[in-house]
């Protein structure tokens, strides 16, 4: 019964969070994902969950063991485990299943709405801006890895997550966390630090950023027209979350979920051809690839609100994984992640400005591309409004959405390369 209540809490709370964000501008500014983290951390650290013994934690962290309820019961009967460990494992098993399922469904639904063909019709300047932005982000991530690799636990995984979130966004960060089996606390703190520093970055670019960059870069030259209608910006603005449950959207998205199940099955089947330690990585990459291919079909790509359904699963993931993070496990190594995030934000902007100077890219373009990569596409129209330049919305959204698609590949690739060398 306790597990049923916990399951309902994880499934229903994201609806409440989205509703509160819709009703409150203050909560909307804080963000649904941050609220999910706070709620999850509170639930996981106020003492309502059973505490695991040291013997139980050793079993959980042993990647060579395939733990089952029967195995845990045997260990309990023979003495090493306490009664609370049995309850802890049942909750852990539910949480682990939910995080895996949430990411597996989130990825296809988020990627179905991609306009891959449209990427090849954008101006060359946007493509150059994307490349410069990615290079600007990767350099400080590599520098940070060189500095903090001995002071941050599994720093190669952190580098992979940073690459994912700063080339795409939260969905990439969450997917890479599952693919690389990153510790829950490390994941939560990495993203929390990112949100905090990201808020400071947004304040800078929306206030004095343009004036500062214009001292080094040319001003934007308007073309005299704005094609901002080329993208559907409806999900950027506040809307009732329950709007997606209307029959108009629900039935087509049930079909999209069915397609997602097929893609997940293909990814899981393909992963069986690889060693156990690589299977989750293969699943994530396979789902990403098959979902992008599915988005090329018009009937899939034009299903409305698939992105919103995908973000629901991201909220479920955020809530569950936050409740699994034990704040008592905080160590000095985690503060170095904070320093690393600052280095990426500051370093990437400086490098981006230097490269833009060489390639004669204007200040507004640098700001919007940096925003799209480090803060994700939803912030693009907001920053464009602060810059009083609607013409750059399309460039920013294109860069950010391409980042969603490539973030998983790039993040996992960087992590594996750093781990190998």
Is the separation of the CB atoms in 167 and 411 below 8 Å?
yes
Does residue 40 lie in a domain region?
no
Is 356 a domain residue? yes
Domain-located, residue 93: no
SS3 418: helix
DSSP string, 140-158: HHHHHHHHHTTTSTTHHHH
Domain assignment of residue 253, given as a range: 100-219+231-420
Task: Tokens for 309, please give them.
Answer: 């359904």
In-domain check, residue 293:
yes
DSSP-based three-state secondary structure for 122:
coil
Question: What is the rounded CA–CA span in Å between residue 256 and residue 258?
Answer: 5
- The secondary structure of 42-109 as a DSSP string is HHHHSS-SPPPPHHHHHHHT-TT----HHHHHHHHHHSSS-HHHHHHHHHHHHHHHHHHHHHHHHHHH
Does a structural domain hold residue 338?
A: yes
pTM score of the predicted model: 0.78
In the block, residue with structure tokens 């019709």: 121
In angstroms, the Cα distances linking 109 to 56, 59, 321, 373, 376 are 36, 34, 20, 20, 17
| Cβ atoms 112, 303 nearer than 8 A | yes
Provide the angle, in degrees to the nearest 10, between the axes of the packed helices 363-375 and 184-207.
Answer: 160
Position 312 in a domain: yes
Q: Which of 347, 326, 281 is nearest to 189 (CA)?
A: 326
| DSSP at 168 | T
Which is nearest to 351 in space by CA: 216, 158, 177, 163?
Answer: 216
Q: Please tell me the distance from the alpha carbon of residue 188 to that of residue 46, in angstroms, as a whole number.
A: 17
Query: Nearest-CA neighbor of 35 among 235, 161, 192?
Result: 192
Total number of domains in the chain: 1
pLDDT tens track, the chain, 421 positions: 688 999 999 999 999 998 888 888 888 877 788 788 889 888 988 888 888 887 887 777 666 677 788 888 888 888 778 888 888 889 989 998 998 899 899 889 988 887 776 666 555 677 788 889 899 999 999 999 999 999 998 899 999 999 998 987 778 888 899 889 888 888 888 888 888 888 788 889 888 989 999 999 999 887 654 444 444 444 444 455 567 777 788 889 999 999 999 999 999 999 898 887 778 888 888 998 999 899 889 899 889 888 888 889 988 988 998 888 777 766 666 889 999 999 999 999 999 999 999 999 899 989 998 888 887 776 787 788 788 887 787 778 778 878 878 888 999 999 999 998 8
The DSSP letter of residue 224 is S
Q: What is the DSSP letter of 274?
A: S
The number of residues in the chain equals: 421
Alpha-carbon gap, residue 318 to 341, rounded angstroms? 20
Residue 339 Cα to chain centre, angstroms = 20
Residue 333, domain member (yes or no): yes
- Rounded to whole angstroms, the Cα distance separating 409 from 172 reads 9
Residue 411 CA to residue 168 CA, distance in Å, equals 10
CA dist., res. 328 & res. 399, Å (int):
39
Q: Is residue 385 part of a domain?
A: yes
Half-sphere exposure of 49 (CA within 13 A, CB side): 24
């Amino acid at each position: 019964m306790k597990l049923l209540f916990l399951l309902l809490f994880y499934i229903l709370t994201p609806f409440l969070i989205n509703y509160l964000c819709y009703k409150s501008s203050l909560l909307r500014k804080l963000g649904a994902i941050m609220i999910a983290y706070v709620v999850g951390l509170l639930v996981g650290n106020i003492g309502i969950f059973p505490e695991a013994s040291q013997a139980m934690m050793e079993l959980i962290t042993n990647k060579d063991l395939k733990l089952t309820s029967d195995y845990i019961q045997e260990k309990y009967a023979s003495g090493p485990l306490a009664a609370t460990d049995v309850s802890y494992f049942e909750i852990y098993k539910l949480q682990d299943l939910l995080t895996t399922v949430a990411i597996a469904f989130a990825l296809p639904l988020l990627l179905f709405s991609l306009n891959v063909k449209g990427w090849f019709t954008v101006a060359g300047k946007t493509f150059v801006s994307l490349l410069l932005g990615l290079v600007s982000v990767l350099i400080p991530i590599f520098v940070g890895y060189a500095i903090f690799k001995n002071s941050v636990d599994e720093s190669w995984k952190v580098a992979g997550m940073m690459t994912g979130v700063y080339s795409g966004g939260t969905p990439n960060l969450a997917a890479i966390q599952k693919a690389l089996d990153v510790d829950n606390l490390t994941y939560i703190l990495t993203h929390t630090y990112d949100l905090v520093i990201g808020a400071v970055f947004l304040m800078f670019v929306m206030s004095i950023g343009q004036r500062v960059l214009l001292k080094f870069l040319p001003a934007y030259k308007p073309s005299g027209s704005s094609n901002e209608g080329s993208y559907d910006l409806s999900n950027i603005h506040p809307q009732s979350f329950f709007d997606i449950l209307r029959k108009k959207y629900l039935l087509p998205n049930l079909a999209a979920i069915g397609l997602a199940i097929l893609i997940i099955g293909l990814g899981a089947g393909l992963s069986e051809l690889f060693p156990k330690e690589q299977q989750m990585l293969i699943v994530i990459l396979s789902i990403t690839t098959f979902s992008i291919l599915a988005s090329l079909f018009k009937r899939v790509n034009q299903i409305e609100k698939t992105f919103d359904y995908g973000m629901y699963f991201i909220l479920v993931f955020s809530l569950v994984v936050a409740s699994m993070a034990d704040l008592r496990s905080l160590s000095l190594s985690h503060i170095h992640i904070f320093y690393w995030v600052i280095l990426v934000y500051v370093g990437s902007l400086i490098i981006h400005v230097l490269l833009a100077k060489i390639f004669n890219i204007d200040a507004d373009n640098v700001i919007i591309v940096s925003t799209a990569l480090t803060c994700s596409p939803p912030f693009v129209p907001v920053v464009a409004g602060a810059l009083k330049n609607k013409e750059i919305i399309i460039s920013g959204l294109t860069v950010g959405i391409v980042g969603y698609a490539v973030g998983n590949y790039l993040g996992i690739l960087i992590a594996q390369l750093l781990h190998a060398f």
